[in-house]
Homo-oligomer: A and B are copies of this chain.
Amino acid sequence: MQDRLTVNLGERSYPIFIGSGLLSERRCFEPYLDGRQVVIVTNQTVAPLYLKSLETTLQAYKPVSIVLPDGEKYKNLDTLNTIYTELLKQRINRTATLVALGGGVIGDLTGFAAATYQRGVRFIQVPTTLLAQVDSSVGGKTGVNHAMGKNMIGAFYQPQCVVADTDVLRTLDARQYSAGLAEVIKYGLIGDREFADWLNAHMQELLALETAAVVHAVKQSCADKAAIVAEDELEKGRRALLNLGHTFGHAIETATHYDSWLHGEAVAVGMYMAARFSRDLGWIDDSAVAFVEQQLLSARLPVRPPKEISVRQFMDLMAVDKKVLDDKLRLVLLEAVGQAVVTDSFDQQALEKMIQQIGLER
């Protein structure tokens, strides 16, 4: 079971390979390496599981490996500098390729290191979480956090190719896997009703990690995201749809200090809140809200925010993004299952009321 998808970005187009056992497939890597130096960047969690295997696949290139500590808190300029130092110590030149073996943090760090080491070297993504396979594989967002805000430093930089080996998801814990499913569900909700229905029919197979279902889900997610990114590579418009559930979700992540909620879990709740608010505005009916809630629950995801967050705190935290990034609070809401829109025309009080109401249901 192997599949291939192309992300169409003109001269920056690249393929995504999706399937079982791809970590051992030299042909997924070799055409993109051009016979030069190879550096694998990974972390201490992933290295014991998959580094040896990838090193073996790439052994003709005598790869250098850099193993970083694991965690979002290491996604910063200091770790980036650690990578630069190691690259310079190993005398890595401009013709090298960096291979990111890990989840979103490793992908973002490695991609940004590749974008900026000697003004740009090539890189390949080997995402090892479901979230990274369906999200950071497509779109070229790379970067690090700043003490004052997440993802505030970075670049749009596309990989040479993405190798998504679905076998590696077997070592992912169930909670992480479900968190990845939240983003998969998102693609259906924002623009692909057919995929949303397919997910309802195949959720059990996905939870059982059946290869055919996982390959389809990853491929369709990447295809949906690629279609949006191809239209709006630098996120000036339509690409904002991909933030469905994220404004509510970021508020939850911030309020809980990024240490008890996974990103996908917070986004799941955020998508449910977006659905509820869309209904309050009269855009969708109760059955659409139920569709969203049931699909999230079937993926073993939460749909209510933690009760320690007050309405006031929610509103304040959502306003932070706004203050830093733009003048107005924009939300992604639903006009139907499979049809999202970005809007800033809604009543602040109605929003507060929805958050308050959901609070009472907990």
Report which A residues bind B (CB closer than 8 A). 77, 80-81, 84-85, 88-89, 91, 93-94, 112, 115-120, 141, 143, 146-149, 151-156, 234-235, 323-326
Contacts and interface: CB of A to CB of B under 8 A. Distances in A.
A153 B84 contact: yes
A234 B148 contact: no
Contacts of A152: 84, 88, 117-118
A146 B116 contact: no
Given A88-B148, A146-B85, A148-B85, A116 B153 contact: yes
A85 B324 CA distance: 12
Contacts of A85: 146-148
B143 A119 contact: yes
Contacts of A88: 146, 148-149, 152, 324
Q: Which 7 A-B pairs have the closest CB atoms?
A: A88-B148, A119-B154, A93-B325, A116-B153, A84-B146, A119-B156, A119-B155
A81 B148 CA distance: 11
A162 to B, nearest CB: 19
Given A91-B324, A119-B155, 7 more contacts: A77-B77, A77-B80, A88-B152, A94-B325, A116-B143, A119-B141, A119-B156
A182 B234 CA distance: 39
Identical chains bound together, number: 2
A148 B83 CA distance: 12
B326 A93 contact: yes
Nearest to A153: B116
A204 B7 CA distance: 57
27 contacts: A77-B77, A77-B80, A77-B81, A81-B146, A84-B152, A85-B147, A88-B148, A88-B149, A91-B323, A93-B324, A93-B325, A112-B116, A115-B155, A116-B116, A116-B153, A116-B154, A116-B155, A117-B153, A118-B154, A118-B325, A119-B141, A119-B143, A119-B154, A119-B155, A119-B156, A120-B155, A120-B234
A115 B326 CA distance: 19
Contacts of A115: 155
Contacts of A148: 85, 88-89
A234 B121 CA distance: 11
Contacts of A120: 155-156, 234
A85 B77 CA distance: 12
* Among A118, A119, A325, residue most surrounded by chain B Cβ atoms (within 10 Å): A119
Contacts of A80: 77
Contacts of A91: 323-324
Nearest to A78: B77
Contacts of A143: 116, 119
* Among A115, A116, A120, residue most surrounded by chain B Cβ atoms (within 10 Å): A116
Nearest to A93: B325
A290 B115 CA distance: 44
* Among A80, A120, A143, A153, residue most surrounded by chain B Cβ atoms (within 10 Å): A153
Contacts of A116: 112, 116, 143, 153-155
A85 B153 CA distance: 10
A1 B354 CA distance: 64
Contacts of A93: 324-326
A323 B93 CA distance: 9
* Among A89, A149, A154, residue most surrounded by chain B Cβ atoms (within 10 Å): A154
A111 to B, nearest CB: 11
Contacts of A118: 152-154, 325
